[in-house]
């Protein structure tokens, strides 16, 4: 892959990362606007998915009656099995218009002073991409967290409850500290998934080169730009630049996954010892 990206690397060097122009006509390519779009959409998606998946995991381990646990766990995992192209299809044809017409104007008038919630522009925008990404990382983060919460020793939980704390105080004081490292790894894995998701994001994000904070405007991520230009690349330099984008993505996902997996392994070993 380094070989394929070589024309682009030798022409733009590391400045590629800071350059926010992507113009096939002038043969000017830079990754900055896609890096920005990737960071913005994935982080907002993670911020939405994190509390939701904690809630799901706690529900499944602590609250749900026995007969609900198995089916809901299966349903959450089925959500992960839906292909991204189908979620994208739903996102562009169903979710996008609903958000554009019913949700975004309300958010804009209520929270318009935050730059993220600017004037709603098109139906295909970064906000739709954020929601789609949230849906896609929700099952991963919640199923890993569920397993971590199941690993919390019962003696610790019962000990806390026996001291007269409420269930939530037990969760916050005993379960969260116990599972902290693993939950962090789950979040990192979720982030990695969000960053690498290409198809569904390409379908809903609209495509826009440039750095701007308004979530209700079109944007682009590293992965979505690669997928969007799969057939349209005209020059060798453009192909090389796309491969360069993929290379950035590869390096990022390698780091994210290695870090997360090492944490997961360490947590598993620790739990194996205490059991």
Partner 1 sequence: MSAQPSALMARSHGLRRRRAVNRGMEWMAWLAALIAVAILGVVVWSVARRGASELNLNLLTKSPVPFAPPNVTQGLANAFAGTLVIVGLATAMALPIGILVALYLNEFAPPSIKNGVSLTLDVLNGIPAVVIGIFVFGLLVVGHGQSGMAGAFALAVLMLPLVSRSTMEVLALVPNSLREASLGLGVPRWRTTLSIVLPQTLGGIVTGTVLAVARVAGETAPLLFTSSIVANATSWNPGHALQTVPVAIFELSESPDPADHARAWAAALVLLLFIMFASLGARWLATRTRRKLGAAR
Contact positions with partner 1 (CB under 8 A) in 102-141: 135, 138-139
Distances (CA, A) of 113 to 102, 123, 206, 214: 19, 21, 24, 11
- Give yes or no for residue 212 binding partner 1 (CB under 8 A): no
For partner 1, which residue of 215, 260, 263, 267 counts as binding (CB under 8 A)?
260
- Smallest separation, CB 25 to partner 1 (Å): 22
- Residues 33 and 262: beta-carbon distance below 8 Å: no
Token reading at 233: 């690349």
Please report, as residue ranges, which positions from 48 to 77 form the binding site for partner 1 (by CB under 8 A).
51-56, 58-60, 62-64, 72, 74-77
| C-beta of 114 vs 167, nearer to partner 1 | 167
- Give yes or no for residue 97 binding partner 1 (CB under 8 A): no
The one-character DSSP state at 219 is B
Distances (CA, A) of 47 to 41, 112, 117, 209: 10, 19, 16, 24
Count each helix (H run) and each strand (E run) in the chain, helices first.
Answer: 13, 2
For partner 1, which residue of 90, 103, 108, 121 counts as binding (CB under 8 A)?
90
- Count the site residues for partner 1 by CB under 8 A: 81
- Give yes or no for residue 165 binding partner 1 (CB under 8 A): yes
Could you tell me which stretch among 8-16, 17-25, 105-113, 254-262 binds partner 1 (CB under 8 A)?
254-262
| C-beta of 53 vs 125, nearer to partner 1 | 53
Please report, as residue ranges, which positions from 13 to 52 form the binding site for partner 1 (by CB under 8 A).
51-52
- Smallest separation, CB 250 to partner 1 (Å): 5
- Give yes or no for residue 94 binding partner 1 (CB under 8 A): yes
| Residue environment code for 96-126, b if the CB has 16+ CB neighbours within 10 A, otherwise e | beebbeeebeebbeeeeeeebbbebbebbbb
The span from the CA of 11 to the CA of 19, in Å, is 13
- Give yes or no for residue 163 binding partner 1 (CB under 8 A): yes
Residue entry with tokens 């990382």: 137
């Amino acid at each position: 892959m380094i070989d394929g990206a070589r024309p682009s690397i030798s022409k733009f060097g590391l400045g590629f990362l800071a350059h926010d122009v992507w113009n096939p006509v002038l043969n000017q390519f830079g990754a900055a606007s896609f890096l920005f779009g990737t960071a913005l959409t994935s982080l907002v998606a993670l911020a939405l998915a994190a509390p939701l998946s904690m809630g799901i995991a706690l529900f499944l381990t602590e609250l749900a009656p026995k007969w609900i646990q198995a089916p809901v766990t299966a349903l959450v995992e089925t959500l992960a099995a839906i292909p991204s192209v189908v979620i994208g299809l739903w996102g562009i044809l169903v979710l996008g218009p609903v958000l554009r017409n019913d949700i975004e104007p309300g958010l804009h008038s209520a929270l318009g002073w935050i730059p993220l919630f600017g004037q709603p522009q098109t139906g295909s925008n970064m906000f739709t991409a954020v929601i789609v990404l949230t849906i896609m990382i929700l099952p991963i983060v919640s199923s890993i967290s569920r397993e971590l919460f199941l690993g919390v020793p019962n003696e610790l939980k019962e000990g806390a409850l026996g001291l007269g704390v409420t269930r939530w105080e037990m969760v916050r004081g005993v379960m969260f500290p116990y599972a902290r490292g693993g939950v962090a790894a789950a979040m990192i894995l979720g982030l990695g998934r969000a960053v690498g998701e290409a198809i569904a994001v390409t379908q809903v994000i609209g495509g826009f080169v440039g750095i701007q904070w308004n979530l209700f405007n079109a944007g682009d991520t590293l992965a979505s730009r690669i997928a969007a230009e799969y057939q349209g690349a005209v020059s060798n330099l453009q192909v090389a630049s796309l491969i360069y984008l993929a290379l950035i993505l590869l390096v990022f996902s390698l780091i994210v996954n290695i870090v997360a997996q090492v944490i997961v392994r360490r947590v598993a070993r620790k739990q194996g010892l205490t059991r």
